[in-house]
Structures are given as C-alpha cells and as structure tokens.
Structure 1
Amino acid sequence: MTTLSPSKPIWIYDTTLRDGAQREGISLSLDDKLRIARRLDRLGIPFIEGGWPGANPKDVQFFWHLKEQPLTQAALVAFCSTRRPNTKAAEDPMLQAILSAGTEWITFFGKSWDLHVTEGLHTTLEENRAMIADTAEYLRSQGRRIMYDAEHWFDGYKKNPHYALSTLDAAVQAGAEWVILCDTNGGSLPYEINAIVRDVQAHFQQQQYTVKLGIHPHNDSDTAVANAIAAVQEGAQMVQGTINGYGERCGNVNLCSAIPNLQLKLGYSCLAEEQLANLTETSRFVSEVVNLAPNHHAPFVGRSAFAHKGGIHVSAVARNPLTYEHLQPEKIGNQRRIVVSDQAGLSNILAKARSFGIDLDKQNPACRQILDRLKELENQGYQFEGAEASFELLMRSTLGQAQSWFEIKGFNVHCDMGASTPDPTMTSNALATIKVRVNGRDFLEVAEGNGPVAALDAALRKALVKFYPEIGSFYLTDYKVRILDGTAGTSAKTRVLVESSDGLNRWTTVGVSTNILDASYQAVVEGLEYGLLFVHKTQEKDSSQSVNLASFG
C-alpha cells in the first residue's frame, strides 16, 4: 500500500467505483471499473473501494479480476452493510460474499441515527448496536481489517448524541480500526462538523480508544470540501470521496479539490508530489470513462481553472503568475491558458501565439491585424474563447502560415422526414453530396447520416480519408447550437460549436451563419483542418526530437 510522508498524513479513500457510480447518468462496465481502479492506483490513492461483492455479478467479477492481477500500490476495499436484524453474522449469506472477495480491508456501514433504526430497519436501538458489534467481530474473526462507516452520523448526533456515540462504541469495541463519520444527507455546515468531530475526539480520549477517525461528506449544501477540511483540522485522518465529486444527488466530496487544498494549502501529506502532478490527467480520464463531459470550470483541474481572459490579467500574469493564480497549475498537472475574446488586448494575442508555438512580437503588424480581426468576428457572433482551434487557424491564416489541405467546392444536403405529418418517434434520414478539391483534383462523394450535419461530416470524411488516413481516427464528441438573436425568429444568426477528438486530444471549432447548415459546415471543416494541423505539428515535433537524440548519440 502507498506509504505517506510522516508529516501530517491524511489517508485518501476513493469510492468513485461504488458511491460515485450512484450518480444519475453513470453506468460503469466491468472494463470501466478496472480501468479507473488502475488509474487511481497509479495516482497513489491508498484505499480504493471497489464495490459491494455479491450485490451484482459485475462487482463479483471485478474483485475476482483484481485478485488475479492485484493493484500495485493501493489497498482494495470491499463494502457492505451490517448483518440483518435478528440473525447471526456468521450465517448471513451477504457477508460470505464479502469474504469471498478476498480483500484485506472491509468497510461496512451501520445506522447512527435512531430514526433510521426504528423507521428504516424496523428494529430496536439495542439490536442495531448488536448488529454493528456482531458484524465487526465476525469479520475480524475471519482475519479481515475493518473500517466502520457511521451512516447519517451527523444528523444522528444532532438528534440523539448519547445513542449515536454508543453505536461508535459498539464498532470500536468489536475491533474496527477506523471509524468514518458520514454526512450522508450532506446538510451539515463546517462549523457543525468542527464541533461534532471535536466531541467525538473527546469521547474517544475519555474511553481511551486508539481508533482513527475519518470523514465521508456529501455535497448537498455545496460544502463537502469545506466539511472535509473542517474534520481534518479537528483530527480526522482519512477523507472518503470521489474523483470529480461524482455521487448520488449532488455528489460526494470532490477529491480533486480536497487533495490539493489539504496538501498544497494546509501542508498535509495526501499523495507523493510526483503523483499529485497527475491529478488533472486522472480527473479527465475518469470523466472520459464515465462518459460525462469534464467540468471546465472545476477548481484546480478544470480547463478554465487557470484561464485568463481580461487584457490586464494577461499582462500581469505574464510578468508574475502570482498576481492572478493562487498556486502553480503544474503542481496538480494543469496548465495556464490565455483566453482570447473581444476583451482581449495585444498581451492576449502574444501569449496565445506562444502557446501555439508561433513566434510573434508587438512590432509585427500582423499582431494588430489578428486583434482587429478577432474583435470584428466576435462582434459578428463568433466565440473564440470556446473555440481555440478556430483561433489558431485564424492566426496562422493572418500570418500566411495556413496550409491548404483541401478546398470545398460545394455541398448539398437533402433530408427525408419520412412522412408529411410531424411525429416525435419519426427518424430523419439525410443525404449529403459534397465536392472537394485535393491536390488539384476534384472529387464528388455522397454519404448518409441520421441528420444533415452527420451526413455532411460523413461525406467530407469519405472524400478526404483516402488522402489523409489520420482523419479515420477523428470523431465528433460534442455539437452545440446557440441562437444569437432570438427576436429575429427563424432568420436569427446561429453559432455552432463542434468538439472533435482523436481519442487522446480534444479541440473545438466554431461557425456562425443565419443558416444552421452553413454554420455547422464551417465548424466541421475547421475541425478537420485543425486535426490535420495538430497531427502535422506533432509529427514535426517528434521528428525534431529524434534528430536531436540522434545528434546527441
């Protein structure tokens, strides 16, 4: 298992694969879970909760796979509940499935709130304590190490502190090594967390327990990260949460925010420094696997977390990043971005050129031309802060550095609605014909799609892939349409943003027109042009590095 620095260590416990997967819209396959687990292991997460063995065949297979090919750093944890009321733990089939997972660590949860005992479990308060103790004792007798998740702890303590504390006593006296205080409803605020964790610490000291405390906050009040920090400052040594804050309802504590706050702001040790630098990459990897768009405005790991748009900001950051950045983005694997818009100044243009690998200075007349063209197009409805690929193409075109990959000579799109009467169940088939010139020759191609944009994209790729095979790996990942002047009715100007990917990288292009097909055409074409430019630049960089290495040798 990962070894932390002895200086104020905080153990991170990831439950993305179980609690995070309960988020609406997430459905993980077995392969998804295995990929995420190995990426978390690489990040250096000490404890990874894999799921509830026996709850479904997928979780059984997951633990079986990792028993055959174990994680290299993390401890894999199985999760379950206490035994059922009025039974024996040794005779509960659910606990047999948990033991079959073969993990050293098991986390089980029990009820802390008397309301849940009487209304949810329909049993007595004393039987609930017996369920907790019997479960812990049995799992310990089978050679397992135990963490106890005190479900609804904070709500239970507020309503009946004496009983809530007695449930912790039952777990600790039966052999639990960790007690995790859960804010399951996510309604507590930091000052409440402070006071209650302090009370628990005082109780444990009075009872002379050596058990360690953890915190498991949910985010229903949007204070989960603050609550985790509050608990740690009162002595909690573990934070249970998820990557990107995924979870039921409003989610769990976001480890991508909690970890850098604890480590870089407060001096606790959560991950090794070199592993912390992989946090942003891990965040985006997990969002890709669960098939949810990354939150660009997420603190620390978001694409916009270190983005600078205003000219004064950009100028100041160029001189000293501390002027508008609370920490170095590289520490968590992110990077500074300069955003271009109608609010941009020359400093934005120069900084953006550097990020594109373009040599440009203020004395170059093209610098002012690019800025003027930017403001003109933004006034027409273009939005380059959300379409940086289009802006790089614009910049290179102004500088005379644009490469002509192909030329569109014309296109036609025909849609067959299938019936004359509108029907919400009816599918729309589209046929696109496109004429393209490549290397001085004209080519005509036809393709079908389930809509006009899909058909147009398919026809264009069909025409070009024989000349540029790399286009075969490009695909559209997002398509956004915005009406810029709603009062103009059907003649309103439309802005289309298209996000493309090659499986590893993403880029966004923009098109604007009163004709939605024309706007889409602009964005799709530029998406392919930028993809080809990106591949070309990457190949040139790799070739240059190979030459340099050969020269060095």
Structure 2
Amino acid sequence: MTTEQITIFDTTLRDGTQREGVTLTAEDKTRIAKELDALGVDYIEAGFPASNPKDLEFFEGFDASQLENAKLVAFTRARRPNARAEDDPAVTLLTGLSAPVACIVAKSWKMHVEKVLRTTVEENLASVRDTVEYLSKAGKEVIFDAEHYFDGFKDSRDHALAVLRAAAESGATTLVLCDTNGGTLPTELRAIVEETVGEFRGLPHVNVGIHTHNDSGCAVANALVAVEAGAMQVQGTINGVGERCGNCDLVPVIANLQLKMGEPVRAGENLSRLTEVSNYVSELMNLTPDAHRPFVGRSAFSHKGGLHVDGISKDPSTYEHVEPESIGNTRRTPVGELSGKNSIRAKAEELGIEAGDEMTVLMEIKKKEHEGYHYEAADASLALLISRTAGEDAPLFDLESFRIISEKRADGATTTEATIKLLVGGKRAISTAEGNGPVNALDRALRQAIEQHYPELSDIHLSNYKVRILDEHRATEATTRVLIDSTDGRRVWGAVGVGENIIEASWQALVDGLEYGARTSAVAGSKSGGK
C-alpha cells in the first residue's frame, strides 16, 4: 500500500452541498476549505467544476498552493460511452485547474451500466481506463470512486472487481468503495472490503478507500469497520451533511480513529479544534447545530441526573467516554426541577459564579419551572437567577415603559415601531426604532438607549428565536415560553421568558440575554486587561 496512515478525504464542499436547503457561494467554500486545511484533513474535494458555474468559479479563483496540509480535489465523471476522454469537456476541464487531484466516479454495478448508462460492460470498462489514464498522464493524482460498489459486488463480483482493476491498471492511486445507497450493514460491508483489499494487495501503488452514506444509520460504523478490514482512506463530510440522510460524518470518524482505534490521522493532531470546525461549517451552511451530535454537540457532555452529576464531580470518567476538552468541547450541568444541590453547585462552578444557598436556588428554580420556565437551554437566565437569589442583582437599566405599534399599509407592507422609556446610569432615556417584527424593534430601540453606557453590546446579536405554547387548550390566552439565543461571535448563550403575552415573554428573554452578555463580556475584559 502507498501509505501506512489512514487519510481523511473531505467532500463537504461537493457531496455535502447536495443536502436539501444547503447552498454555498465560492467565498463560503474558500472559508470552509481553509478551516478544513487548518484542521489537517488530507484531501478537500471542493466541487464538480463541469456541473455548474459556481464550482468552476471557485476552482478558477482558488490557488491550491494556499493549502498547507490538504490536497485540493476536483470531481468529475468518467467520459461518456463511445467517446474519447480528450474530447469530453467534463474531463479535459480538470487539466487546466490548479487542483492536483482528480476524483473520478464511474459505475461499478452492472445493472446501472446497462439500465442507466445504456451501454455495455466492455464500454464501461473502456470509459474508466480512458479517463483515468488521460488525467494521470496530465499529471493529476487520480482517486477513483466506484459508485454503488457494494450493490454491484453482490450482483456481480467479477464485474465490480474488473471496474476497480481497470482504474488501478490505468493509474488510479486510491480505489474508493462507495455504498451509494447507504443500505449495506456493517458485517456485510466489512466482509466485502476485506475481500476487495485482498484482491489488490499485490499492487503496491494502490490503496482502497471507503465512502458511505447514512440511509440505514450505519455510515460511521461502516467507515470504521472498513478501516479495520484494510481501507486506508475514509471519505465523508463534516457533520454528515449530504443528500437524503447524509454522508459519513467525519467528526466522530476522526475522533474514534484517533482516540479509540489506534489509527492516528493527521487531523487528529488538531483534535481540540473539532468542535469549532463542526460549528463553523454549520454556521456557514445556515444549519442549526444538533445539540446531541456525538463528541461535539452542546449536550454531548451534559449531565443532568443527580447520580451522574455526583459521579462526575468525583471522577469524570464515571459518565464520560473521553475528555470533552480533547475535542474542544466542554462539560455542562443543566439544572431543572429534578436537580439536586450537587447539580446547582456544579452548574454555578461551570458558569463561574457563586452558588450561594443551593437549596434556596433550587426552590426558586422549581417555582419558576412550575410557571413554565425551562433553564436547560437558558444558561444566561439561570446565571442571573442564581445571582438575584443571592442578592447580587445589578440590572443594566430600570424600565419605565415600552410601546409597540404595528402598521399594515395598503400596499401590503408591514412596519413595526418600538418606543422605550427607561433609566440608565441615573438618567432618563427615550428611544424609538423600527424593526421587521416586535422583538427586532425592541432590540434596536433598547440598544440605541443603552449602548453608549455598555459599548460591549455592539458585539452581541440575536442568533435564534423560539416560541413554544405551553397550554394549547387555552388558545389565544395560552402561556408562551420564548427562548432567545445570543452570540458575540465566540460564545452562544440562551435566555428564557414566560408569560401570557408573547411580547412580554420575548422582552424577558431579550433583556436577560443582553444583561448576561454585558456582564460576562465585562468580566472577560477585566481578566484580559480590558483588551
């Protein structure tokens, strides 16, 4: 085999963008590519330049030499049946790009050759040979993706292996076995990978790779057993984004290879950046991160039960399979009506504040949760509740009143205006602002009134707004819970508000989020010398 270390092939920017609702600009792709490179992935497949102008724009504008760790990969298909590679623009286009690696996909399932391509097995093999040889002679490192390999192998072992052999004999350095439909189970997949690796063990210039999809929920498991069976490259995407149910998620793959399987990968050298990269990709794809993602999710190391919290306080390994810091995550202790004093003490320590009288805090939490408050995703409101219970409340301002006016015009346009009157810094302030809704208008008016006193608020913006009706049977008189997430670009924190009036509930969450952000920003600033 050509390498002794497993290589990570990231296709977030190509296969990942086939997820419904996801689209990336050329600039987005550039930013993600640089993050993946810094993480230490070995290959970055950035798109299919012959398929759309946006991908071509990226490849023409991105100099592959900018990457310090990864090799840039351009994707294409094998040349059309009954044609020549040198006459197929989807193939020849790659020779003029700076990407040093070409990834070629071709059919390895006999049924697809005959029913989809409508050609013969012989012509399909010729297409593979011609395309791989053409790009190899053009100086490209060629990675060959055998589409539907496992279905093809089960249908006709000889044909599937013949397709791989055609690619290997023509210059491909990695033969990637693709579970394109995502329906193969780990035991079956492992056996096929093991047999395939054995077939090519005599070719020292060739590696076998694995590319799995998650339609049966086995993408990561399949990738890991493939490595155990001899695969030397894993293809996948950050957060498992991709078509249908997604691709193999490289986040747990990298972590498991590095921490549990004794298969160190180059990306594993920067494992503490894994959570940051995962969240960064979600942000640019405009996807809300799943809090329960393995390793990197906000709740991945979250301990709520009293027994768990007690165990963690004595030895984290009692309820954690790895150290959260090793992958850039943090331990959390959400509290609620089922919590005990240990949970309050641990949560206060996590938040960097004094717990005070834990039993008093716990009784206040139980009372508030009975009213509909929920603090598991509202650390900002919880921190303020603990401080207020200890008599340490120092509000940013004192509210006199606020008023909201919404107007729908004859032309169909709707405007919302908020006016706020309050005391800040001992002085009365009045502010009016328009917004695209009542919460946005309130946020703008409040900031106008107090930002000169708290300039740190300029770095804080609202990142999420959620509403839940708690007692639907009361219809329009129902109690509403509002959760608002805020961020300063480095951290994200949640605040909660509850009331029969949705505006009042939103106001509570808005104020808690800003107050917590201002307080913690001031603390961070004092610790860093105000810089």
Query: Taking structure 2 as the reference length, what is the TM-score of the superposition?
Result: 0.96
Secondary structure of 1:447 counterpart: strand
Q: Which runs of 5+ in 1 are unaligned?
A: 420-424, 547-553
Task: Identify if the C-alpha distance between structure 1 residues 401 and 219 changes in structure 2 by more than 3 Å, giving closer, same or farther.
Answer: same
Equivalent-residue separation in structure 2 for 1:501 and 1:529 (angstroms): 12
Could you tell me which amino acid in structure 2 is paired with residue 413 of structure 1? I
CA deviation vs aligned residue, 1:80-111 (integer Å, no higher than 9, x gap): 11011111112222222111112222110100
Choose from 227, 233, 248 the match for 2:228.
233
CA drift at 1:273: 4.9
Equivalent-residue separation in structure 1 for 2:279 and 2:181 (angstroms): 27
Equivalent-residue separation in structure 2 for 1:482 and 1:20 (angstroms): 31
Equivalent-residue separation in structure 1 for 2:175 and 2:269 (angstroms): 30
Is the contact between residue 496 and residue 520 of structure 1 (CA under 8 Å) also seen in structure 2? Answer: yes
Equivalent-residue separation in structure 1 for 2:474 and 2:195 (angstroms): 63
Choose from 336, 344, 352 the match for 2:331.
336
1:371 aligns with 2:362: yes
Task: Identify if the C-alpha distance between structure 1 residues 98 and 502 changes in structure 2 by more than 3 Å, giving closer, same or farther.
Answer: same
Is the contact between residue 237 and residue 250 of structure 2 (CA under 8 Å) also seen in structure 1? Answer: yes
Secondary structure of 1:338 counterpart: coil
CA deviation vs aligned residue, 1:395-434 (integer Å, no higher than 9, x gap): 1122233322111111111222346xxxxx9554222121
Equivalent-residue separation in structure 1 for 2:203 and 2:497 (angstroms): 68
Equivalent-residue separation in structure 2 for 1:68 and 1:40 (angstroms): 13
Choose from 53, 59, 64 the match for 1:57.
53
1:481 aligns with 2:476: no
Equivalent-residue separation in structure 1 for 2:250 and 2:486 (angstroms): 28
CA drift at 1:161: 1.7
1:528 aligns with 2:514: yes
1:394 aligns with 2:368: no
Corresponding position of 1:25:
21
Corresponding position of 1:101:
97
CA drift at 1:114: 1.5
Equivalent-residue separation in structure 2 for 1:83 and 1:528 (angstroms): 58
Is the contact between residue 416 and residue 429 of structure 1 (CA under 8 Å) also seen in structure 2? Answer: yes
1:538 aligns with 2:490: no
Equivalent-residue separation in structure 1 for 2:447 and 2:189 (angstroms): 56
Equivalent-residue separation in structure 2 for 1:307 and 1:441 (angstroms): 43
CA drift at 1:143: 1.6
1:442 aligns with 2:428: yes
Corresponding position of 2:288:
293
Which range is displaced more, 209-218 or 108-117? Answer: 209-218
Secondary structure of 1:154 counterpart: helix
CA drift at 1:229: 0.9
Is the contact between residue 89 and residue 135 of structure 1 (CA under 8 Å) also seen in structure 2? Answer: yes
Secondary structure of 2:529 counterpart: helix
Could you tell me which amino acid in structure 2 is paired with residue 450 of structure 1? N
CA drift at 1:217: 0.1
Secondary structure of 1:412 counterpart: strand
Which range is displaced more, 492-501 or 92-101? Answer: 92-101
CA drift at 1:471: 2.0
Which range is displaced more, 221-230 or 255-264? Answer: 255-264
CA drift at 1:265: 1.3
CA drift at 1:325: 0.6
CA drift at 1:274: 4.2
Choose from 209, 212, 219 the match for 1:217.
212
Is the contact between residue 427 and residue 450 of structure 1 (CA under 8 Å) also seen in structure 2? Answer: no
Choose from 347, 354, 359 the match for 2:349.
354
CA drift at 1:210: 4.7
Equivalent-residue separation in structure 2 for 1:325 and 1:65 (angstroms): 44
1:41 aligns with 2:54: no
Equivalent-residue separation in structure 2 for 1:482 and 1:426 (angstroms): 28
CA deviation vs aligned residue, 1:462-487 (integer Å, no higher than 9, x gap): 21223223322322111100011112
Could you tell me which amino acid in structure 2 is paired with residue 226 of structure 1? A
Equivalent-residue separation in structure 2 for 1:221 and 1:208 (angstroms): 33
1:85 aligns with 2:86: no
Aligned residues: 530
CA drift at 1:355: 1.5
Secondary structure of 1:277 counterpart: helix
Corresponding position of 1:14:
10
Report the RMSD for the aligned CA atoms in angstroms.
1.9
Corresponding position of 1:549:
none
Corresponding position of 1:550:
none
Which range is displaced more, 442-451 or 524-533? Answer: 442-451
CA deviation vs aligned residue, 1:182-235 (integer Å, no higher than 9, x gap): 011111111111111122123224x65652100000111111001001111110
Is the contact between residue 17 and residue 23 of structure 2 (CA under 8 Å) also seen in structure 1? Answer: yes
Matches within 5 A, 1:492-503: 492-503=478-489
Choose from 247, 250, 256 the match for 2:242.
247
Task: Identify if the C-alpha distance between structure 1 residues 273 and 54 changes in structure 2 by more than 3 Å, giving closer, same or farther.
Answer: closer
Secondary structure of 2:445 counterpart: helix
1:510 aligns with 2:496: yes
Equivalent-residue separation in structure 1 for 2:416 and 2:272 (angstroms): 46
Runs of 4+ in 1 over 6 A off after TM superposition: none
CA drift at 1:307: 0.4
Q: Which runs of 5+ in 2 are unaligned?
A: none
Which range is displaced more, 58-67 or 298-307? Answer: 58-67
Corresponding position of 1:403:
394
Equivalent-residue separation in structure 2 for 1:36 and 1:284 (angstroms): 11
Secondary structure of 1:503 counterpart: coil
Could you tell me which amino acid in structure 2 is paired with residue 152 of structure 1? H
Is the contact between residue 110 and residue 159 of structure 2 (CA under 8 Å) also seen in structure 1? Answer: yes
Could you tell me which amino acid in structure 2 is paired with residue 74 of structure 1? A
Corresponding position of 1:145:
141
Task: Identify if the C-alpha distance between structure 1 residues 390 and 11 changes in structure 2 by more than 3 Å, giving closer, same or farther.
Answer: same
Which range is displaced more, 31-40 or 349-358? Answer: 349-358
